[in-house]
Amino acid sequence: MRYNTYIFDLDGTLLDSLQDLAASCNYALRWADMPERSMEEVRKFVGNGVKKLMERAIPGGMDNPRFDETYQTFRKHYMVHNLDTTKAYPGIMELLATLHKEHRNMAVVSNKFYAATQDLCRHFFGDYIQVAIGERENIRKKPAPDTVTEALRQLGVSAENAIYVGDSDVDIETARNCGMPCASVLWGFRSREFLIKHGAEHLIANPLDLLDIK
């Protein structure tokens, strides 16, 4: 096991949260009398934070005069319903337990809003995840390196001997901007072909495969 520090994306990497995200998205769209989105559409919309998800889902995006109230309706619904069907992917808890036993540093960096990131990590991962950072007003979100830099600061480590783990092109770009290698997971929201097209360097089909990356 080469790396001392593991920085994880959350949605599509550690947690299968697509169904709850889609349910809250469509709840808000129904509330605003806007057309609902299919699961596959929502799958394509996620990856850049929930505000970007709703920008893509709402007709006209942020130019829609009802964008703000519809987005806030999504947020309120999601904070209540983000545990309805969300679950850790198979093998994730075994991976985190192994890394914890080996005294590796672990953090989650997500473009999901801060409160939901904290709540989900606390609920699912307990003491395994030492630092969890979500979207905040005073810090640039991924693919900017800021949230990863903050996670490393809170862990008290440098980017040396650290690896980033995610499921999207945003994650690949984030790792690149941080000067870190990236492990791209194949069980998340993006396909193998999509990840390869966007420059994936390490593809893993099973969470425990992460331990074999040199």
Q: What is the mean pLDDT of each run of 10 residues along the chain (214 residues)?
A: 91 96 97 96 88 94 97 95 95 97 96 89 94 87 94 95 96 96 96 96 96 90
Q: Is 171 a catalytic residue?
A: no
181-185 long-range Cβ contacts below 8 angstroms, 24+ apart? 181/213, 183/210, 183/213, 185/12, 185/13
Instruction: Single out the catalytic residue among 9, 11, 16, 20.
Output: 9
Instruction: Name the pTM for this structure.
Output: 0.92
| Residue 205: predicted pLDDT | 97
* Strand 105-113 versus strand 87-88 pairing type: unpaired
Quote the Cα angle for 66-135-121, to 5°.
120
| Whole-number pLDDT of residue 1 | 56
